[in-house]
Structure formats: C-alpha cells, structure tokens
Amino acid sequence: MQLPIEWLPAAGAPEQLILLLHGVGADGDAMTLLAQALRAEFPQAALIAPDGPHPFDAGGPGHPGRQWFSVVGITEANRAARVAAALALLVPWVRQMQNQLRVGPAATAIAGFSQGAILALETALREDGLAGRVLAFGGRFAAPPSTAPRQTTVHLFHGGADAVIPAWHARAAIEALAALQGDATIDIAEGVGHELHPVLVQRALYRLRHHIPARTWAAALGAVPDRARDEDDD
C-alpha cells in the first residue's frame, strides 16, 4: 500500500504506532488533520496513513480515490464478507508495520473514519489484541457483535447529525459492547455530520490520554472489573 503519511519521531525509536484508515473514495491524505493532532500530542509515535488497496469504483471519471472494499451493491447480507476480505489484506500489513517499527500490539492504535472505521472496529472483534486501542470515527460494525474484545479498547466518535452512517449505529454498538462486558467509550458531537470534526479529534486525544483500559485495572487489582459505559455528548 502507498503511504502518503508516514511520520516517525524526530529522534529515538517509536514508542507508539498509530495507523490511520481513510474513508471510501478518499486516500491517506484525508487523515492529515487527525495525524497532525496526534503528532502534536504524541511526538514519539509513528503515524502511518496508507491508501486503500483498491481504486474507488463508485465515483466515475474525475474521482481517483481509493477504497478498502467496494460499496457497489452492498447490503446488510454481504457487508460482513466484504469486510472480511479487506481484513485479510489489512491484518498482515498491521503486523508487518509492528515488526518493522518494533512496536508491540499494546502500544498500537488503529484509527479509522467511515469505511476505515468499519475496518478498525472489525479488527477489534476478529483479531482481539492486534491493537491496544481502536478509534472509530463515523463508523459501524459490519454486523452486531456477538462477543466483545478483551485486549482491545474501543473508542467510538460520531456526529449526531451524520446522515451517511447515522449515530444510532454508535449508540447500538456501545450498548452491545456494554452488554458483553467490553471496554468501550462513546463521544457524540451534536450538530456534526459525517466528518472528522475537530471536536471529535479533541475527544480522541482526551480518550487516549485519560481512559485507563479495563484490562489495566484488572491487572492492577487482580480481578476483572465491571466495564462501565462511558458516554459523552458534546
């Protein structure tokens, strides 16, 4: 995959690895705002934003964007299979980046917007522990989860006025993860649409800095804590 954004620490080895997955019809450059904010907050992190592996097939002439999977003819019945096919390429690449930069899964975060958020969320379910954190902006699960990750914390960020992937998907996801004793948070910005809005970016920085994963509490206390639902509407 091409890497339009590949920012490494100015000095020293990376302490974190943050992978940024763009939405359908866009490319890695579309994650610049988020990448800049993360770089300022975590200067020792390696930030990688690849282009999706396939040309965008729904835009027509003059729309040279990329995609992780096709949305042409997509339905609730076939979405999960398309996402699984995309993950078959994405997961080995994530491990390759971890090995190349010598950053382990616990110090890895996968952040995605829209279609990229769908992939990020599905890595948490299908490859629990591939990353310590998943940050999903304006995304959804391919299908309602039947299990919750134990080694990955899920952070959901959504615009309350999102007309592409409505915010009820995020609310349903947090309810499902809470019922399954998953470790997750949710932030909904009212009046914000389907975008990487600065308000949501700031909430992501806050969550990365201040949310202590449930597994960390469990290790410290020697017991499995109750996973609390953590919601914020801005």
**148: its two tokens:** 């919750």
pLDDT in tens, 85-94: 999 999 999 9
pLDDT in tens, 100-130: 999 999 999 999 999 999 999 999 999 999 9
Crossing angle of helices 115-126 and 79-101, in 10° steps, is 80
* Nearest one of 107, 96, 115 to 133, comparing CA atoms: 107
Residues 6+ apart with CB under 8 A from 214: 153, 183, 224, 225, 227
Residues 6+ apart with CB under 8 A from 107: 15, 16, 17, 132
The confidence score (pLDDT) of residue 212 equals 85
**47: its two tokens:** 């930030």
Can you tell me the mean pLDDT for 23-29?
A: 96
pTM summary value: 0.92
78 vs 214, more confident? 78
The confidence score (pLDDT) of residue 64 equals 76
- Banded pLDDT at 18 (limits 50, 70, 90): very high
Provide the residue count of the chain: 234
Judged against a pLDDT cut of 90, whether residue 219 lies above it is answered with: no
- Banded pLDDT at 228 (limits 50, 70, 90): very low
| Bridge partners, residue 134, by sequence | 110, 154
The confidence score (pLDDT) of residue 202 equals 97
5-7, strands of its sheet edge to edge: 5-7, 45-49, 16-21, 108-113, 133-137, 153-159, 184-189, 230-233
Chain mean pLDDT for the chain: 92
Domain membership of residue 11 as a residue range: 5-233
Judged against a pLDDT cut of 90, whether residue 224 lies above it is answered with: no
CA 34, distance to chain mean position in Å, is 12
Count: domains in the chain: 1
Tell me which residues are annotated as active site. 114, 162, 194
The domain spanning residue 143 has which CATH number? 3.40.50.1820
**197: its two tokens:** 């809005």
